[in-house]
């Protein structure tokens, strides 16, 4: 009797390990980050009219959290290896800087290790930081980023 219960318990443990009880959902992080609007206001220091981001609650909840995001590396200087670069939701010819998208489709990346330039989509893991302060900077930063192979 005890032998049967013991064997059944071992089989159950084996089966539960084969089929994870918690399913991990893959989220399109750019879709989440699109919940932002921009308000026009006068910059108190320069007197210029600037647009400042107003982040949705889901985005605010991600501030300071580790995220995984896919995108295209946009080099700031030359096509080489970079520790600081811009990640775009869209390829270079459609990106924000070409006038085809909004500022919510790009983020400043600060990588732990240099990332070699590629025109293919890459995947990064890092800590998301929201820019509430500087209207002349991008609304999103990814710090301590690392390339996921």
Segment 67-121, tens digit of pLDDT: 999 999 987 766 566 889 999 998 877 777 777 788 899 999 999 999 988 889 9
Mean pLDDT over 39-57 rounds to 90
Tell me what the pLDDT averaged over the chain comes to: 81
Please give the DSSP secondary-structure letter assigned to residue 102: -
How confident is the model at residue 75, as a pLDDT? 74
How confident is the model at residue 100, as a pLDDT? 73
Domains and CATH numbers, the chain: 23-148 (2.40.50)
**How far is Cα 48 from Cα 53, in angstroms, rounded to an integer?**
16
Please give the DSSP secondary-structure letter assigned to residue 24: P
How confident is the model at residue 78, as a pLDDT? 61
Q: pTM for this one? A: 0.76
What distances in angstroms separate CA 94 from CA 32, 46, 74, 106, one per listed residue? 20, 31, 11, 11
């Amino acid at each position: 009797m005890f032998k049967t219960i013991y064997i059944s318990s071992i089989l159950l443990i084996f089966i539960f390990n084969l089929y994870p009880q918690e399913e991990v959902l893959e989220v399109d992080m750019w879709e989440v980050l699109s919940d932002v609007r921009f308000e026009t206001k006068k910059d108190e220091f320069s007197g210029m009219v600037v647009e400042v981001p107003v982040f949705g609650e889901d985005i605010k909840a991600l501030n300071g959290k580790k995220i995984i995001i896919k995108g295209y590396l946009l080099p700031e200087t030359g096509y080489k290896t970079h520790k600081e670069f811009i990640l775009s939701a869209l390829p270079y010819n459609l990106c924000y800087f070409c006038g085809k998208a909004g500022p919510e489709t790009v983020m400043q990346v600060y990588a732990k290790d240099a990332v070699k330039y590629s025109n293919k989509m890459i995947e990064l893991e890092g800590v998301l930081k929201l820019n509430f302060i500087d209207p002349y900077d991008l609304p999103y930063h990814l710090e301590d980023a690392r390339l996921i192979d």
